[in-house]
Homo-oligomer: A and B are copies of this chain.
Amino acid sequence: MSRRLLVVGAHSADFVWRAGGAIAAATRAGGVAQVVALSYGERGESGELWKVEGQTVDNVKQSRHAEAEKAASALGAEFVALDFGDYPLEIGEERLGRVVDTVRAFAPDVIVTHTDTDPFNPDHPVAHHAVVRARTLAAGAGVQSGFPTIAPPALFLFEPHQPELCNFTPTTFVDITEVILAKREAMAAMASQVYLQTYYDERAGHRANHARRASGRSEIRYAEAFQRVLPQVVAEL
């Protein structure tokens, strides 16, 4: 039963820090993963690149595209860029339609995106609302309709940088112990945000500590945290 995992970020590097392990776990288990970047984070989140004298937006976008492709590749995922622009990211009716088309075309079992709140970021909540709305538009109301629909994907939010201030409560820890090297390789590809690599490596250790406490499974060394938004349907508790 091969799973299809779709990760949508406001900027082209978001997927690496927040869901890189879960992507690698999915592809290693035989699943198919696609990463969609609504923008390159070219203006607001490309710190190292803007230290270069005479830098241009186009050049930053090219570098960020290459980095993201390399990182996605390390995780076994395909990278798709919608290039809507950042700081601010704006998603009107036409762009929403493109997000819906992307979701419908990939027909994921699982969608992962940002939380609805982020007082430190102007684009993350915009991405959240677009993805959540695109998901219901692609899945429809569960009845015959005037447009093609897909089965309703599960919906998860990945961990924001300051969880308690972003309305994030973890419901699900993914054990990424087996794929931590792949995540580190992907993080290493992100040359323009190099300062985050140590941070998220240590964070994976802390989330593993939380996961051990929640489960009693002492073999977990690295984990990522997610918040499931919609109820899960199971055969037993």
B-side contacts of A165, CB under 8 Å: 169-170, 230-231
The answer to whether A88 touches B237, judged by C-beta atoms less than 8 angstroms apart, is no
Q: Chain A residues in contact with chain B, CB under 8 A?
A: 3, 5, 22, 25-26, 29, 31, 42-51, 55, 57, 60, 87-88, 90, 93, 96, 110, 112, 119-122, 132-133, 136-137, 139-147, 151-152, 154-156, 161-165, 168-175, 193, 199, 202-203, 205-206, 209-217, 220, 223, 225-226, 228-237
B-side contacts of A93, CB under 8 Å: 88, 90
B-side contacts of A169, CB under 8 Å: 164-165
The answer to whether B144 touches A51, judged by C-beta atoms less than 8 angstroms apart, is yes
Q: Nearest chain-B residue to A27 (Cβ)?
A: B236
- Most B-side CB within 10 Å, residue of A22, A48, A147, A162: A162
B-side contacts of A235, CB under 8 Å: 25, 29, 174-175
